Chain A
Amino acid sequence: MGGDFSPGTRVRVREDFPLGHIRTPVYMRGKEGVVTRRLGRFPNPETLAIGRDGLPRKVLYEVRFRQADLWPDYAGGPADTVDADIYEHWLEQI
């Protein structure tokens, strides 16, 4: 969990539902995608949200998902994708 993922790495989003301010959308939790970019290190919004300093910073990745992997009844094309920015501690390498 929270490895150093280079672009092209297949990852799975943690299937976890904690309380608090979480920026990982529920519909992506437990789903698989591919890292497309490493966006940098940023203060952790989950701890900023409760009045702390957000440190240590967390690496934020852009992850690409196939729409068909997100929605069981997806009716669009097989090449359709959606990108999301997801913090390292929400990702695990497959």
Chain B
Amino acid sequence: MRGPHDVGGLSAGPVDQTPHDQDHWEKEIDALNQLLAQKGYRKTDENRRAIENLGHDAYNTLTYYERWAGALARVLIDKGVLTQDEVDAKVAAVRARLARDAA
């Protein structure tokens, strides 16, 4: 079973090496990850498992920090820190807020 991350030897296109700034939310995900590790809620290997389990389509479509965010939610749900309903409700609230802001 070859995970979507395990691409050694597969053909691939050129690597985009254009430098780019991180968005604020990406820094927030990084900070959240580190804080949750310090507090003992997650380990690097748990995050890796969750990222590798996103599936080929999601793994190859999502950006780097989108994968982190998805994996972090997965780990916290698996461990009972959050429930799927809580995550869904928060996502719906954020979507509604963004729609209002855009209007």
B window 17-74: CB within 8 A of A:
43-46, 48-49, 52
Q: Please give the distance in Å from B51's CB to the nearest CB on chain A.
A: 9
The answer to whether A76 has its CB under 8 Å from any CB of chain B is: no
Cβ contact within 8 Å between B6 and A51: no
Contact of B78 among A26, A28, A46, A51 (CB under 8 A): A51
Q: How far is the CA of A21 from the CA of B71 in the complex (A)?
A: 13
Given contacts A25-B6, A26-B8, contact A18 B1 (CB under 8 A): yes
- Indicate if the CB atoms of B1 and A17 lie closer than 8 Å: yes
From A20, A46, A70, A71, name the one whose CB has the most chain B CB atoms within 10 angstroms.
Answer: A20
Residues A71 and B48 in contact, CB atoms below 8 Å apart? no
With A19-B1, A26-B2 given, is the CB distance from A50 to B9 under 8 Å?
A: no
- A-side interface mostly: loop
The complex places the Cα of A50 from the Cα of B79 at a distance, in Å, of 10
Q: Is B8 a contact partner of A20 (Cβ separation < 8 A)?
A: no
**Which of B's residues lie within 8 Å of A, judged by CB?**
1-3, 6, 8-9, 43-46, 48-49, 52, 78-79
